[in-house]
Amino acid sequence: MKTNYIFAAILVSSLIGAFIASRSMKTVFALVSGALALYALLRQVI
């Protein structure tokens, strides 16, 4: 997976999380964004 796709997925996940009213779903999308960001960071290092 190209890094650009990972960054786009982080952006989409963050935007969805920002516009959802449910607090639990905001947490889920924040965790997804964080996991994708961590994956992208580790992919750059390795």
The tokens for 5 are 């796709």
**pLDDT recorded at residue 43:** 87
pLDDT digits (tens, 9 = 90+) for 1-46: 577 898 999 999 999 999 999 999 999 999 999 999 999 889 888 7
The rounded distance, in Å, linking the Cα atoms of 13 and 28 is 9
Distance (Å) of CA 13 to CA 30, 45, 46: 8, 23, 24
Contact (CB, 8 A) for 44 and 2: no
Contact (CB, 8 A) for 11 and 44: no
DSSP state of 21: -
